[in-house]
Homo-oligomer: A and B are copies of this chain.
């Protein structure tokens, strides 16, 4: 993490939505800003490893978006261009910034998106199947040669509308990330520990339950780890926090000698540190100006919050 990674080969492939977001908060509104799960996850991962983006942009996708991705060292060979409008999402946060309401979703070019991995991506050791339809996640997974670890994120929409495909994803991934309400919805278990155990029984080696401002919990077959949230005092826009969290965690994992509860917990702590910066401004603005030394400082503070040596 000390400097922009120089390893030329892509270590982490991320697929997800590339969007132009309109975000309303009680204090202000950002219109048609860079967003989508793949943007946040790739930007967050870029501080740790060489990341490749799999997504689709419409012909209205702004050049400054691609320029930002390039400046962050993100490999864009897997970013397709399509005729038509880029995916749009609009949402509103209520007073306490935890309640979000989706105001509009326009799939646009995502409707006919068929992800295809460039040869360099197929050999990558790590895959993050960001929040898009499980059918698209499976298409990407089918093209991975022999990944060391595959993580997938999901959301309530797919649990409700694409359950058979989602079940196939769950069966094939090593790490499933989802929020607490989604874990309950997926399993029908109100108790989170039982919900996590049910998911572990369906395939993944690890389950990461995201709890918004309460941080996250990592459940493994033989243990549980707490991933604390960094206490951000100025939350300006929580959009993408979960994607930054997952992206940074997978990026950090690329540097781990092996995958275990210890290294996964440490990587998720890096995810928590980076996600805490992302919410301090709209869109990718804070991530775009984030410095590695800032991440290291928050990481140390998070360790101290758990009583560890800073």
Contacts and interface: CB of A to CB of B under 8 A. Distances in A.
A307 B306 CA distance: 8
Contacts of A184: 96
B304 A223 contact: yes
A165 interface: no
Interface in A209-229: 211, 213-215, 217, 223-226, 228
What are the 3 A-B residue pairs with the smallest beta carbon separation, nearest first?
A193-B231, A96-B190, A214-B214
B224 A305 contact: yes
B224 A231 contact: yes
A259 interface: no
B308 A233 contact: no
19 contacts: A96-B190, A191-B232, A191-B233, A191-B234, A192-B213, A192-B231, A193-B233, A211-B214, A214-B215, A223-B304, A224-B231, A224-B305, A225-B306, A225-B307, A262-B307, A265-B307, A266-B307, A306-B308, A308-B308
Contact of A191 (B196, B211, B235): B235
Contact of A305 (B197, B226, B304, B305): B226
A95 interface: yes
Nearest to A303: B307
